[in-house]
Structure 1
């Protein structure tokens, strides 16, 4: 059975950084589709100018991988419901779909991390977009994506080391490992 890993969380949550370790080393998944990395490959000095084109390339690559029944992962903020049908389709094609969500304790921390990334030469996201995606992504995780995927896990990635907060599987079988953090996360949506 092929595996699809969705690496999710707000901007600045550490999705890309973590993916480079978790996917190849822990999950033995060698294919990672990332629109930001594609944009950087198309236009290293102004990746924001090719973000739409990078998004199209990403979706085409995902379609190719699904057709080939390859293991792969991709990252998203989950700020829209656009991946819901794609994940449902992947499951129909026999994929096991796992969602790994990286949560940050505040939108201010997300903004600070993006600012730090920009200072190191990374891509910028406007503060208003970070705010919108922070709230929508978390809400969509709870109201849309938890029910679609086969299994999920949510980490608090606010500190140097991520803390596994809860794990679950469809239909809404939840094991909470840190009640205090789970209450905080569920209360922020």
Structure 2
């Protein structure tokens, strides 16, 4: 990520929760969410560039993006896609094995297509620049970019695959 988005300030609710309770971060998710939002607001008030992690399974950040753009911020989105729900479940299991919090399987299955749908149809068209990478390989492979209202597809097969996986 540091090679793609050159920003020093990375805000992540999961990392905040782990800092609050290293042995049971899932018990601190609400407190971590509050601190996460507070850190974002502090960066905005200081006009300090920042990045944050989200699944894009909801639409709540659209309001923030529009607010930032109205205040002359340049908003970029880097999306790290996975090819399917199964790999998403494996990534969550891997995170849990390293002390991270779990996500119920039913939530993963519900959020996976919703996240892709939100990326393809909402967020990528609102931000100033969007780059979507397939994150099942090293290095991740660029699938598409949205820039100045135009979508540039770098890998048609992977792009078509994302479209099919995004059907809610």
Shorter-chain TM-score bucket reads over 0.9
* Superposition map of 1:6-155 within 5 A: 19=1, 21-22=2-3, 26-155=4-133
Q: Highest relative contact order (Cα 8 Å, sep 6+), 1 or 2? A: 1
In the superposition, the TM-score normalised over structure 2's length comes to: 0.93
Distance 1:29 1:159 in 2: 23
The question of whether the paired residues in 2 share the 8 Å contact of 1:168 and 1:175 is answered with: yes
Distance 1:176 1:144 in 2: 17
The question of whether the paired residues in 1 share the 8 Å contact of 2:133 and 2:142 is answered with: yes
Post-superposition offset of 1:132: 1.6
State the match for 2:153 in structure 1.
Answer: 176
Distance 2:55 2:5 in 1: 21
- Runs of 5+ consecutive residues of structure 2 not aligned to the other structure: none
Distance 2:98 2:25 in 1: 15
RMSD: 1.4
Q: Secondary structure at the match of 1:77?
A: coil
Post-superposition offset of 1:163: 0.6
Aligned pair 1:166/2:112, yes or no?
Answer: no
1:59-102 CA-partner distances (Å, limit 9, x unpaired): 11111111111111000000111100001101111111010111
In the superposition, the TM-score normalised over structure 1's length comes to: 0.83
